[in-house]
Structure 1
Amino acid sequence: MPYWRLSGFYLFYFALLGATAPYLALYLDYLGFSSARIGELLAIPMLMRCISPNLWGWLGDRSGRRLAIVRFGALCTLFSFCLILLGKSYAWLALIMALYAFFWHAVLPQFEVLTLAHLGEQTERYSEVRLWGSVGFIVTVVGLGELFERVSLEVFPWVLIGIISCIFISSWWVPNAQLSSARDNPLSGGFLRQLRQPGVLAFFIVVGLMQLCHGPYYTFITLYLESLGYTRGVIGQLWAVGVVAEILVFLLMVRLLRHVSLRQVLIASLLLAVLRWLLLGTLADHWFWLLLAQLLHAATFGSFHSVCVLVVRRSFNARQQGQGQALYAAVSGVGGGLGALFAGYSWTGLGPTLTFFCASLVALLGAFILYRKMPENPS
């Protein structure tokens, strides 16, 4: 297994997320946009995941050229984002968000399939490879927090262009691989029939709900903490704390899954998300409770995402893996986009406390659905 080449790609890919998730809203605020406009602009890339992953996933399954799609998507993402150098009006930024997201979201689902193909029968080691994405996120979020304490946010677009360039370059380090079809069940049928297996639809609904409840966090947490008096450097460190906890979960996931089922991990992750949003909505001005809320990122993203990739892997045949991972990304995008839109409009109308309370109710609904509808051992 080309461990370091796979890990290197994840490092740069999630370094981009480490730049955009905490600081893109801050940059849009710097440009003078209102909360509603910021929510709309941040919703566009998430909603684009409804279209892009499914199209590229279908193409990847039909052609088998997943690595070519990864490289092409990375290159087009770079060209698309460079358009930000030509203008920064609302309409122009909306176009850039849609265009770059269309190609950026083509990359990860196909790369996930490649990674699983390289892992072969050792799919439980996925988290050991994926943790380097978290390392890239930490380095970026802490580094940019310190950088923006010292320089203007005017340099933000150039930072993103540099990171996207690294994603494209690293895509050429990775060797190709194909999933074995030996595990296919000849009676399982096509993609839609596999989608109707017990618990699979419920699983995807819950994936959307988990991303929806993250909407207020990903859209406004940096601005929220800044309004409570935290500096940008400290905010960057708080983001990093959450991702360090996520890395620890990735390292422990192989051992954890020897003792608990995928369903149990998903339900526990959702229940801990309920607690996290309640803490952020009511006690974020207290350092101890804010730190605890950030540590819970280990569950709300780390354990949840690790298990979701494995559930998708077990739910679809090799010939439908691209579409399965793409559907996972697309449903995540729908939930995330709706969450960002909700946060954009509710942040001013309801306020942060009620907004996070609504997010906790969404997570609780997701846990209830899994408890009732998902079998103990999805396959």
Structure 2
Amino acid sequence: MPYARLSSYYFFHFGALGALVPYWGPYLLERGFEPTAIGALMAILMGTKILAPNVWGWLADRAGARMPSVRLGALLAVLGLLPVFWAGGFWAMAAVMAVFSFFWNAPLPLMEAVTFNHLGTRASRYASVRVWGSIGFIVTVLLLGWWQERAGSGVVPLAVLALFIGVWASCLVIPDRGQAQAEQAHLSLRTLLARPEILAFLAACLLMQASHGAYYAFYSIHLQAHGYSDTAVGALWALGVAIEVLVFINMHRLLVRFGARRLLLASLALAVLRWLLIGAFVELVAVQLIAQSLHAATFGAFHASAIHLAHHYFPGPTQGRGQALYNSVGFGVGGAAGSLIAGSLWDSAGAMATFAVASLLAGAGFLAGLRVDRQARY
């Protein structure tokens, strides 16, 4: 298995996420955009996940191979980002973000399918590859926080561009890998989507990612408004992902012991608590440390469990489309809706109310997750 080459893709892809999620909102704020506009622009980053993975999955199916589509998407993301340095008003920035995020988001589900196919019977070891994405995120948030504090927010798009180039370079050396011949039996995606436990799983994913909307769009702004420095903001983001690394390293053991369903439900319950802590106790550093530690559950354990459930629910020929559907519904529809909700509430209702709504969304996700197949232990 090409472990190092697969890991490098995740390192750069999620390193780019580490530049975009904590620092793109403050970058837009410094460029003069209002909170409502920032919420809408950040929704674009998530919203392109609704369409992009499905389009790219269709192209890969037609081509009969996944990695050529991954490489094309990575290259177009680099080219699509370049106009950001000249984009002025809202619509120009929206167009640039729509283009580069479309091509950045498009290949990831294909890479997830390629990774699982390389792993084969060792699918529970997925987290040992994915953990390098978390490491890339940590390295980026720490270095970029330090750099931005000294050079200003103009360095943020430069960092994103460098990381996009890294994504493109890494996928040039990853070999393609299709599903095993034993999995080639015809399966209808429509039939699978009629199953209530799969619909419940997708609803839980949508609501969990919607609950993250306020966090992704406004957490850095929230901290800065209460006196946290750029370095402190970066350190808090890094803390959450550092603890997430420990979860990924031990995820194969956790899956065997508890099963994906229980981990999914525990993550949703902890998300309810996390958003309340962030909204109500932002001035207490100790509480923020606890809240950021919960990122290990609300993203790390949740995503690893969800990706295994998607692999379990959508086998064989539906594998790539199933992973794309998980990304589209959860990170796409859920992430975009969450960002729009947060953007509309931030000025009118305030930070505490915005994060309280995020907590309610996570609670609704927990209720949906109760319908997930009780036998789903993968």
Residue in structure 2 matched with residue 340 of structure 1 by the alignment: 339
Report deviation, 1:181.
Answer: 3.8
Mapped partners of 1:80, 1:363: distance in 2: 33
Residues 255 and 305 in structure 2, CA contact (< 8 A), matched pair in contact too: no
Q: CA deviation at 1:164?
A: 0.7
2:11 corresponds to which residue? 11
Q: 1:65 and 1:209 mapped to 2: Cα distance?
A: 32
In the other structure, the counterpart of 2:143 is: 143
Match of 1:366 in 2: 365
User: Structure 2 matches for 1:235-314, cutoff 5 A?
Assistant: 235-314=233-312
Q: 1: distance between equivalents of 2:358 and 2:262?
A: 21
Per the alignment, residue 101 of structure 1 pairs with 101
Cα displacement string for residues 316-341 of structure 1 (whole angstroms, at most 9, x for unaligned residues): 12211111111111112111101111
- Aligned identity (percent) is 42
CA distance in 2, matches of 1:82, 1:374: 43
**Deviation, structure 1 residue 197:** 2.6
**Equivalent residue of 2:258, what SS?**
coil
Alignment of 1:205-244 (within 5 A): 205-244=203-242
1:32 is aligned to 2:32: yes
- 8 A Cα contact 1:266 1:304, kept in partner: yes
Q: Distance in 1 between the 2:22 and 2:332 partners?
A: 17
Aligned 8 A contact 1:36 1:345 in 2 = yes
Tell me if 1:350 matches 2:345: no
The answer to whether the Cα contact below 8 Å between 2:183 and 2:317 also exists between their aligned partners in 1 is: no
Contact kept, 8 Å, 1:16 with 1:160, in 2: the verdict is yes
Q: CA deviation at 1:105?
A: 1.4
User: 1:159, 1:363 → 2: CA distance?
Assistant: 32
Letter in 2 for 1:310: H
SS in 1 for 2:175: coil
Where 1:51 maps in the other structure, the secondary structure is helix
Moved segments of 4+, more than 6 Å: none
Partner Cα separation in structure 2 for residue 88 and residue 169 of structure 1: 30
How many equivalent pairs are there?
376
Deviations 1:147-178 (A, max 9, x none): 11111212222221111111111111211111
Which TM-score applies when normalising by structure 2? 0.97
CA contact (8 A) 2:147 2:155 kept: no
Q: Is the 1:262–1:376 Cα contact (8 Å) retained in structure 2?
A: no
Find the residue that maps to 1:61 and give its secondary structure: helix
Q: Distance in 2 between the 1:261 and 1:152 partners? A: 45
**1:57 CA drift (Å):** 1.4
| Deviates most, 308-317 or 79-88 | 79-88
Report SS of the residue matched to 2:321.
helix
Superposed displacement of residue 102, structure 1: 1.6
1:89 CA displacement? 1.9
- d(CA) in 2 for partners of 1:366, 1:155: 37
Out of 181, 200, 203, the position equivalent to 1:202 is 200
Aligned ranges 1:76-115 → 2 under 5 Å: 76-115=76-115
| Secondary structure of residue in 2 paired with 1:226 | helix
Query: Is the CA contact (8 Å cut-off) linking 1:181 and 1:317 kept in structure 2?
Result: no
Deviation (angstroms), 1:184: 5.4
Secondary structure at the residue paired with 1:132? helix
Residue 221 of structure 1 deviates from its aligned partner by 0.3
The residue identity in structure 1 corresponding to 2:20 is T
Equivalence map 1:105-184=2 (5 Å): 105-183=105-183
Contact between 2:65 and 2:178, CA under 8 Å: does it hold in 1? no
Give the alignment of 1:63-74 within 5 angstroms.
63-74=63-74
Give the superposed CA RMSD: 1.2
Deviation at 1:224, TM superposition (A): 0.3
How many angstroms does 1:185 deviate by? 5.7
Q: Partners of 1:157 and 1:145 in 2: how far apart?
A: 13
- After TM superposition, the structure 1 stretch with the greater mean CA deviation from structure 2, 125-134 or 173-182, is 173-182
Code of the aligned partner of 2:87: G
Tell me the amino acid that sits aligned with residue 360 of structure 1. S
Q: How far does the alpha carbon of each residue in 1:288-331 deviate from its partner, in whole angstroms, 9 at most, with x for none?
A: 11100000000000000001111111111221111111111111
| Residues 86-119 of structure 1 deviation map (CA, whole Å, 9 limit, x = unaligned) | 3322111110111112211111111101100100
Gaps of at least 5 residues in structure 2 are: none
TM-score normalised by L of structure 1: 0.97
Q: For 1:7 and 1:341, how far apart are their aligned partners in 2?
A: 32
Q: Does the 8 A contact of 1:78 with 1:164 survive in 2?
A: yes
Note if contact 1:185-1:317 (Cα within 8 Å) is conserved in structure 2. Answer: no
Relative to structure 1, the CA distance from residue 240 to residue 51 in structure 2 (aligned partners, 3 Å threshold; closer, same or farther) is: same
Of the structure 1 ranges 196-205 and 304-313, higher mean CA displacement relative to structure 2 is found in 196-205
Q: In structure 1, what residue type is equivalent to 2:258? A: V
In the TM superposition, residue 256 of structure 1 has moved relative to its aligned partner by: 1.0
Letter in 2 for 1:297: H
* Residue identity opposite 1:308 in structure 2: A
Letter in 1 for 2:285: W
